[in-house]
Amino acid sequence: MWPLADHSTDDPGFFRAARRAPDLLRHAPYVASLPTTSLSPISYSPAELALLNGTPLPSATASLLAAWKAQYDALTAAAAVGPAQGFSLDLFNRAMGLIASRSFPSRLLDSRKHDDPLADAEPDVVEGQEGLDHPILIPGYDLLNHRPLTPVSWISTPASSATGAEGRVSLVHHFPLGPNQQIFNNYGSKPSSSLLLSYGFALPLDKQPEGMETLPLLLGGIPPAKQALCDRVGVPWSKAWDLCLIDGVVEPPTGLRKLLRVVVADPDEEAEIADDAGRLAGRISGDNELSALDALSELLQGKLAVLERVATAEPPAGVRPDVVQVAEVYRTNQITLLTEAAAWTGREMTGVARELGLDLDADNGAFDEEG
């Protein structure tokens, strides 16, 4: 354990002390190499976090910081150390942010996996807190810069008692490297929400593998009777549904469409659904389908309006220019996702309406009977 009592809680004094006094701890040179600033939302001021309004990141950031606060409270209670000794919550959050942005998943050490592409390797901050996978630091590998679309693989080699060989984890490049060429890692296929929360940056869609972006959709205000019907027919009503854009294509999840069909169902349709849950796999009726798609359209347009309002507003005074820039990239990706999803919904509504002999009034979104 390193001494903490002589360091201020108002700044990352411990990290500065490690640079000034290498004898403070054996791995002081490693600490000295760590960045002192972050563009991850966990470091944002309230004004900076407001630049992400309309996206899932403000709530995800709050949840993550709450989880870290719980860990900090448990640790300080168990170790009888806290702010008075220089171990502040701010210092703990800085350390957790550094671990999250530089860690690898512990499954890399599973010797049963001899070839694990990095696209399924690097964890998100949130993913590192759950399940059997835990974030681990591998000295040296976390010093590598990352470059999108760099083809690499991870190979875990188990130790051998027969030969005395030690176990190891290898990063393998799938292209030749010449003298003095930099070795790059990559982040795999991750949406900007994961990249921004974990690493503090966002990539435009054309720079991402598969042009991937995601946005969770959660329906609120579902009446108790509808909730009960959803429970009866096995349709989750309280979960967030991931809307996913890949290579410019987006289609709302089947589960979300089933839920919307239940939510807009009239009493007769509710009885049909209760008798045969399989009806939800397709149209209950033309009117039900149009109503469900219209509800989805309103949900998408509402989120899109919030994002566009934030995008056109002047950034508040005092926010970091780098934060303004990264927030703009991320919002643009989210706006593209919602725009494509709204366009898909509009096409579906038009198709259903035409089958029913209705024509879409482009001015007010209403359907009229064809003459």
Does the pLDDT at position 20 exceed 90? no
**Residue 369 has which token pair?**
């009977």
109 and 240 in a common domain:
no
Does the pLDDT at position 369 exceed 70? no
For 349, how many CA atoms within 13 A lie in the half-sphere containing its CB?
A: 23
309 and 240 in a common domain:
yes
174 and 64 in a common domain:
no
Other C-beta atoms lying within 10 Å of the C-beta of residue 255? 16
**Residue 174 has which token pair?**
């799938």
Site of tokens 């009446």: 223
350 and 233 in a common domain:
yes
pTM of the complete model: 0.79
Is residue 95 in some structural domain? yes
Radius of gyration of the chain (CA): 25
Which residues are within 8 A (CB) of 5 and not within 5 positions of it... i.e. 6 or more apart? 85, 86
Q: What is the mean pLDDT of the chain?
A: 82
How far, in Å, CA of 94 to CA of 89, rounded? 9
Task: Please say which residue of 153, 185, 217 terminates a domain.
Answer: 185
The distance of Cα 308 from the centroid of its chain, to the nearest Å, equals 20
Query: Which pLDDT tens digit goes with each residue over 138-182?
Result: 877 888 887 777 888 888 787 777 777 777 788 888 888 888 888
362 and 247 in a common domain:
yes
- 282 in Cβ contact with 273 (< 8 Å): no
What's the domain count of the chain?
3
Query: Quick one: which of 189, 202, 199, 191 has its CA closest to 51?
Result: 202
How far, in Å, CA of 89 to CA of 73, rounded? 9
Does the pLDDT at position 350 exceed 60? yes
pLDDT for the residue numbered 26 = 74
pLDDT for the residue numbered 131 = 46
256 and 239 in a common domain:
yes
Site of tokens 């309309």: 54
Domain that holds residue 88: 13-100
79 and 45 in a common domain:
yes
For residue 328, what is the domain's CATH number? 3.90.1420.10
- 175 in Cβ contact with 143 (< 8 Å): no
Query: 313 or 28: which carries more pLDDT confidence?
Result: 313
Query: Quick one: which of 210, 60, 34, 198 has its CA closest to 121?
Result: 198
Task: Please say which residue of 60, 82, 100 terminates a domain.
Answer: 100
211 and 109 in a common domain:
no
SS3 letters for 168-181?
A: EEEEEECCCCCCCC
Is residue 190 in some structural domain? no
> What is the DSSP pairing of strand 184-185 with strand 145-146?
parallel
pLDDT for the residue numbered 361 = 57
Interval 56-67 mean pLDDT: 94
Query: 277 or 5: which carries more pLDDT confidence?
Result: 277
pLDDT for the residue numbered 132 = 54
Interval 17-36 mean pLDDT: 68
Task: Please say which residue of 80, 100, 120 terminates a domain.
Answer: 100
Query: Which pLDDT tens digit goes with each residue over 275-290?
Result: 999 989 888 999 999 9
Residue 170 pairs in a beta bridge with 155
